[in-house]
Amino acid sequence: MMFEKGFLILPEIIVIGAAAFFFGAAMGKVRSATILLAAGSSAALAALGSAVATFSRHGLLFGVYQIDVVSQTFKIIILGGLLLILLCTPRLRGITSAFSAEYFLFLFSGCVGLCLMTSTAELMTMILSIEIASYAFYVLVPLRSKRYEREPFEAGIKYMFFGGAATALTLYGMSYLYGMARSTYLSNLARELPVLLAAEPLAVIGLVLFLVGICFKLGLAPLHYWMPDAFTGAAHETACAIATLPKVAALCLLLRIFALASTSDGTVALVFGTMAVLSMSIGNLSALGQRDIKRLLAYSGIAHAGYLVVGMLASSSVGMAAVIYYAVGYVVMLVACFFVLYQLAPHGENITIEDLHGLARRSPLLAVTLTVAAIGLAGIPPTIGFTGKFLMFAAALKHGWYIMVGFAIVNVCIAAFYYLRLIRAVYTGVSERAERITLPFHTAVSAVSLIGAIVVAGIVPRPLFENVLPAATSLLARF
């Protein structure tokens, strides 16, 4: 009996085991990138496999830890994303080589926190798992190679202070929720919250403050200030992980809490609608003037957090499924962008739009990868970005969020401008650097698979969509 239940947390155990292995490697000064990468990707693969295998609903440890279709779906996305990042950035170009083992240690401990986040059904455990993930990712930022003296540390400190402030607000909101509902279990909150939200203004304030920490991870305005600096300060590998994985886990928590509070109407929904509109407008308008690609991607990430909230506010199972579907697409598209940056920077230096000039002649395959990823992020068919946005906005329209969807569509048009500017730089820019970039075979395979994933999942959305639909349905029908 005991071991049967232990089997359910196999993915977490494997990821923790991998983190312990890297801890040992750091102690023993193992710096061989090949060994570390092999260990990392096989652990991620094993964890992914076991997450697929443990697809049943169970409550563990007094109901604090819940294994269900939602948690397992999100774990698969997170672990799949981790595997993708490891395979697309195989050698740590931007990280001090003395810290390779430490880099993997913190990457994997962060993923432990993210996996725990998806399964928690109790507020204390939730905040602790958020913090485990946050601390691990805070440490990753300053591990950048010595080429950059000051920026990584500044970025790391900013990331940590903003994160700490967000956590403080979350705890403050939690104290209100606990004071009113007298329980930290989500199942009890699900019973009490809808009543409390209708009757008590303090419950609304408590819930919104509580969600601040989660919105911080998601990068939703007005909690987005850390993103541009953290991205430019961090190495490409780190930025890629920070931009994708914590967002997926935060989205899981946000969807769970939003669904259980059944706040499709009312003040909380209004607050989130405003935040979504702010997020999209601030993100897209700020991205227009950026020259550094990572900064541009950070602002585009802020805008994308807004799009995801638009889909979430539809609060139908189709809307929620569209959000999860889009999250998968976002991970793939962003990894594709960072993959190109990583290939362009042999020593992990930051890339500006000028550096992209003439890329189409230097490496046609990388140029196509970046183009496909950019038109995906812009939401132009036939990519996963278009299909996901279409499904989310359609669901929100069905719920009657006309003004918000209007804002979203205007924003998509604004965003197209700077994504297309990237593509213009790639194809029409003239550069004195004419040397060709030759890609090794496995890199070419990664590029082709990323392009394939973005396009195929956009043209044939049904398999992916139907696989995430059960999670969305169970989110809304949970307690």
Partner 1 sequence: MSEYRIIAEVVFYLLIVLTVAGAVLAVTARILIHAVVGLAVTFLGVAGFYVYLGSPFLSMMQILIYAGAITIVLVFGTMIGYTPRQIVETKIRDKNLRLALPACLVSGVVLCSAVVTAGLGTMRQSGDTGIADIGKRLLYEFSLAFELISLLLLIAMVGAMVIVGGQEERDAE
Q: Which helix (H) or strand (E) holds 102?
A: helix 100-119
Q: Which CB sits closer to partner 1, 329 or 348?
A: 348
Burial letters 262-301, b for 16+ CB under 10 A, else e? ebbeebbbebbbebbbbbbbbbbebbeebebbbbbbbbbb
| Residue 456 C-beta: closest distance to partner 1, Å | 38
| Residue 292 C-beta: closest distance to partner 1, Å | 24
Q: Which CB sits closer to partner 1, 156 or 458?
A: 156
| Residue 174 C-beta: closest distance to partner 1, Å | 13
CB atoms within 10 A of CB 345: 16
| Residue 452 C-beta: closest distance to partner 1, Å | 36
Q: Which CB sits closer to partner 1, 23 or 427?
A: 23
Q: Which CB sits closer to partner 1, 65 or 419?
A: 65
Q: Which residues here bind partner 1, judged by CB under 8 A?
A: 23, 26, 61-65, 96-99, 102, 105-106, 109, 112, 116, 122, 124-125, 128-129, 131-132, 135-136, 138-139, 142-143, 145-146, 156, 178-180, 182, 196, 200-203, 205
Tell me the two tokens of residue 474.
């169970």
| Residue 145 C-beta: closest distance to partner 1, Å | 8
CA distances from 410 to 274, 280, 286, 419 (A): 15, 10, 15, 15
Tell me the two tokens of residue 161.
């202070």
| Residue 161 C-beta: closest distance to partner 1, Å | 15
For residue 185, the 8-state DSSP code is: B
d(CA 158, CA 298): 15
Q: Which CB sits closer to partner 1, 62 or 441?
A: 62
68: helix, strand or coil? coil
Query: Quick one: which of 468, 108, 408 has its CA closest to 280?
Result: 408
Indicate if the alpha-carbon torsion angle 48, 53, 54, 55 is positive or negative: positive
| Residue 40 C-beta: closest distance to partner 1, Å | 17
| Residue 342 C-beta: closest distance to partner 1, Å | 20
Query: Please, which residues bridge with residue 122 across strands?
Result: 185
Q: Which residues are CB-neighbours of 222 under 8 A, at least 6 positions away?
A: 275, 278, 282
| Residue 99 C-beta: closest distance to partner 1, Å | 6
| Residue 205 C-beta: closest distance to partner 1, Å | 5
Q: Which CB sits closer to partner 1, 148 or 231?
A: 148
The 8 Å CB, 24+ separation contacts for 437-442 are 437/343, 437/344, 437/362, 437/363, 437/366, 438/363, 439/343, 439/363, 439/365, 439/366, 442/90
Query: Quick one: which of 169, 339, 334, 315 has its CA closest to 254?
Result: 315
Q: Which CB sits closer to partner 1, 53 or 61?
A: 61
Q: Which CB sits closer to partner 1, 226 or 393?
A: 226
Q: Which CB sits closer to partner 1, 88 or 196?
A: 196
Q: Which CB sits closer to partner 1, 87 or 139?
A: 139
| Residue 65 C-beta: closest distance to partner 1, Å | 6
Q: Which CB sits closer to partner 1, 6 or 400?
A: 6
Q: Which residues are CB-neighbours of 50 under 8 A, at least 6 positions away?
A: 10, 11, 14
**Is there a contact between 145 and 235 (Cβ–Cβ < 8 Å)?**
yes
DSSP for 112-163, please give it: HHHHHHHHB-BHHHHHHHHHHHHHHHHHHGGGB-TTSSSHHHHHHHHHHHHH
For residue 289, the 8-state DSSP code is: T
